[in-house]
Amino acid sequence: MFVYICKMKKVEIEILENWFDLNYQKKIQGRRIVLKDILPLVGKLKQKFKIKTIGQSHLKNDIYSITIGNGTKKVLIWTQMHGNESTGTKALFDLFEFFTGKHKLSNIAESILKECTITCIPILNPDGAIAYTRVNAQNIDLNRDVIDKKAIESRILQEILKQLQPEYCFNMHDQRTIFSVGKENNPATISFLAPSVDKQRSLTEGRKRTMEVIVSMYELLQKIIPNQIGRYTDEFYPTATGDNFQKMGHNTILIESGHYKDDYLREKTRKYTFFSLLQGLNFIANNKEEANYEAYFKIPNNNKNYLDVILKDISYKNKKVDVGVLFEERLKDNKIFFIPKVDKIDNLSNFNANKIISNLSLSFSDEEKMNTWIENEFN
Cβ 99 vs Cβ 114: under 8 Å: no
Q: Which of 63, 97, 58, 11 is nearest to 277 (CA)?
A: 97
Backbone angles phi, psi at 320, to 5 degrees: -85, 125
Cα distance between residue 243 and residue 251, in whole Å: 10
In which element (H, E) is residue 26 found? Answer: none
Cβ count within 10 A of residue 36: 11
The residues facing 118 across adjacent strands are 68, 75
Find the radius of gyration of the CA atoms of the chain: 21
Cα distance between residue 120 and residue 75, in whole Å: 8
Backbone angles phi, psi at 158, to 5 degrees: -70, -30
Q: What is the pLDDT of residue 40?
A: 96
Q: Which of 92, 243, 86, 71 is nearest to 164 (CA)?
A: 71
In sequence order, what are the residues at sequence separation of 6 or more whose Cβ sits closer than 8 angstroms to the Cβ of residue 212? 283, 287, 291, 292, 293, 296
Q: What is the pLDDT of residue 306?
A: 98
Q: What is the pLDDT of residue 12?
A: 81
The residues facing 301 across adjacent strands are 231
Q: What is the pLDDT of residue 377?
A: 86
Is 145 in a helix, a strand, or coil? coil
In sequence order, what are the residues at sequence separation of 6 or more whose Cβ sits closer than 8 angstroms to the Cβ of residue 102? none
Cα distance between residue 299 and residue 242, in whole Å: 19
Cα distance between residue 43 and residue 38, in whole Å: 9
Tell me the CB-side half-sphere exposure of residue 305, using CA atoms within 13 A.
Answer: 17
Compute the 3-state secondary structure of the chain and give helix, strand, coil in percent, each to the nearest 5.
Answer: 35, 25, 35
* Intra-chain end-to-end CA distance of the chain, in Å: 51
Cα distance between residue 83 and residue 128, in whole Å: 4
Q: What is the pLDDT along the chain (379 residues), one digit of tens a residue?
A: 333 334 333 338 999 999 999 999 999 999 999 999 999 999 999 888 999 999 999 999 999 999 999 999 999 999 999 999 999 999 999 999 999 989 999 999 999 999 999 999 999 999 999 999 999 999 999 999 999 999 999 999 999 999 999 999 999 999 999 999 999 999 999 999 999 999 999 999 999 999 999 999 999 999 999 999 999 999 999 999 999 999 999 999 999 999 999 999 999 999 999 999 999 999 999 987 778 999 999 999 999 999 999 999 999 988 999 999 999 999 999 999 999 999 999 999 999 999 999 988 888 988 888 989 998 888 7
Cα distance between residue 237 and residue 230, in whole Å: 19
Q: What is the pLDDT of residue 7?
A: 39
pTM here?
Answer: 0.95
Q: What is the pLDDT of residue 263?
A: 98
Cα distance between residue 231 and residue 214, in whole Å: 10
In sequence order, what are the residues at sequence separation of 6 or more whose Cβ sits closer than 8 angstroms to the Cβ of residue 115? 69, 71, 72, 73, 284, 285, 286
Domain 2-303 CATH (choose: 3.40.630.10, 3.40.47.10, 3.40.800.10, 3.40.50.720): 3.40.630.10
Cα distance between residue 5 and residue 289, in whole Å: 11
Q: What is the pLDDT of residue 124?
A: 98
Cα distance between residue 353 and residue 306, in whole Å: 5
Cβ 116 vs Cβ 42: under 8 Å: no
What separation in angstroms does the CA of 315 have from each of 203, 312, 351? 51, 9, 19
Cβ 342 vs Cβ 370: under 8 Å: yes
Tell me the CB-side half-sphere exposure of residue 98, using CA atoms within 13 A.
Answer: 30
Cα distance between residue 311 and residue 198, in whole Å: 42
Q: Which of 65, 62, 184 is nearest to 126 (CA)?
A: 62
Q: Which of 276, 269, 265 is nearest to 299 (CA)?
A: 276
Q: What is the pLDDT of residue 98?
A: 96
Extents of the domains making up the chain:
2-303, 306-378
